[in-house]
Amino acid sequence: MESTTQGSAVGRNWAGNIAYGATRLVEPGSVDELVDLVASEARVRVLGSRHSFNDLADTDAVLVSLAAIAGNSEVLRIDEKTIRVPAGMRYGDLVPTLERWGVALANLASLPHISVGGAVQTGTHGSGDRIGSLATQVAGLQMITGAGEQVHRSRGDDDFDGAVVALGALGIVTQIDLDVEPTYEVAQSVWEGARWDDVLEDLDAVTTAGNSVSFFTTWQDRDAIDQVWVKTRTSATPAGLPLPGVRTADGERHPIPGINPEPCTRQQGVPGPWFDRLPHFRLAFTPSVGEELQTEYLLPRKDAVAAIEAVRGFAHEIAPLLHVSEIRTMAGDDLWLSPAYGSPTVALHFTWKPDEEAVRGLLPRLEAALPASARPHWGKVFTMAPNVIAARYPRWDDYRDLVSRLDPQRRFVNPYLARLGL
């Protein structure tokens, strides 16, 4: 049975910088109730785990939470390589079932606290030269269209590549089929003392030092990298970090210097299950620092050095506003609205202090300094013009056509999507 929250009681996002403007928040208890809701409302919008830092998930109409449906649904084993997951389930809550079955995902994001559907629809990612975003693990999805129909798309179907990362504009995704593999262990090490000049001399050599490599810096020193986190499957031989002057950390570390590392997953090369090493933070703790803003730009790997050099040029302006910055890589994909579409990708991430006015004052100049291939993460803070963003996606017109076909009555369009021209 559905529950409803009215008006201002809908609340805020996880970071606290967005107050939702919806008239009410509805939490259906079943897919049938959700179908009826879509049919009866002129406009609806899905609210995930509230981890967007902009108004992507907001609306001036009805917000829908899929949490109750996820709580009332089971994870299904389709076959040895595929599972079916309620879209509203968080990755961390999925783990116990996968552990019981002895299977794993190829990757996880830094935070296991986010919902599967929200992460997939926004192109959210983990890290690794040979590992795609979380959306690349999707083998199929079921959604409710603007016409109230339940449709299923599988990998290889027409328009599948346009439906996986779709910003919630095509319909409400209720179930997602994910690729799985046999479970595995990962060891995580943190290195200190690296310098950007040494890293950028041969970036490929450094990012292949493990299955996943992340660079963390506060930009207090434009030449220094505070920490390099290297995650390696135990089936692989650790390569070490091919940089002069680096050393392994003498204890556990938080990405933000001086913060208690207890919320972080275990380091110091101690092997552990994939789900307790691939994320930076453990599910049992509040991730990162709480009151913060986030920005991220993703670029083709060929533009990585130029992008990092551009950011170095702003180090003195970035540092006073910043908690920490993370730079990592991922494989390219063919999903139309994925920020990693078309080529191997590097991601430049910024965790800001909660001063949105100052951050938005800096971003236009930082965005202009980045290579013209930069794409902002759909769910984070950016100021790039909608027409500029659209021009950086070769399949943008195909995506708009798909939105028109599946949502002709514009039930799922909100102010965010309208700004993008949908």
What domains appear along the chain, each with residue ranges and CATH number? 3-68 (3.30.43.10), 71-183 (3.30.465.10), 185-388 (3.30.70.2520)
Sign of CA dihedral 310, 316, 317, 323: positive
Confidence at residue 242, expressed as pLDDT on a 0 to 100 scale: 92
**Three-class DSSP category at 367:** helix
Confidence at residue 291, expressed as pLDDT on a 0 to 100 scale: 79
Predicted structure pTM score: 0.96
Q: Is residue 1 predicted with pLDDT exceeding 60?
A: no
Distances (CA, A) of 121 to 153, 162, 336, 422: 14, 10, 11, 16
Confidence at residue 111, expressed as pLDDT on a 0 to 100 scale: 82
Please give the average per-residue pLDDT across 252-278, as a whole number: 94
| Mean per-residue pLDDT over the chain, rounded | 94
**Three-class DSSP category at 232:** strand
Using one digit for the tens of pLDDT, what is the confidence trace for 166-190?
A: 999 999 999 999 999 999 999 999 9
Confidence at residue 10, expressed as pLDDT on a 0 to 100 scale: 84
Strands (E), 2-81: 3-6, 24-27, 44-47, 62-65, 76-79
Confidence at residue 110, expressed as pLDDT on a 0 to 100 scale: 84
190 or 110, higher pLDDT: 190
Q: Is residue 229 predicted with pLDDT exceeding 70?
A: yes
Number of other residues whose CB lies within 10 A of the CB of residue 413: 20
Confidence at residue 236, expressed as pLDDT on a 0 to 100 scale: 75
Please give the average per-residue pLDDT across 97-116, as a whole number: 93
Using one digit for the tens of pLDDT, what is the confidence trace for 60-73?
A: 999 999 999 999 99
How far, in Å, CA of 115 to CA of 105, rounded? 15
Please give the average per-residue pLDDT across 298-304, as a whole number: 98
Confidence at residue 286, expressed as pLDDT on a 0 to 100 scale: 66
Confidence at residue 67, expressed as pLDDT on a 0 to 100 scale: 94
Confidence at residue 285, expressed as pLDDT on a 0 to 100 scale: 77
pLDDT category at 339 given cuts 50, 70, 90 is very high
Confidence at residue 324, expressed as pLDDT on a 0 to 100 scale: 97
How far, in Å, CA of 20 to CA of 60, rounded? 8
Distances (CA, A) of 351 to 97, 245, 287: 32, 27, 12
Q: Is residue 250 predicted with pLDDT exceeding 80?
A: yes
Please give the average per-residue pLDDT across 302-306, as a whole number: 98
Confidence at residue 7, expressed as pLDDT on a 0 to 100 scale: 58
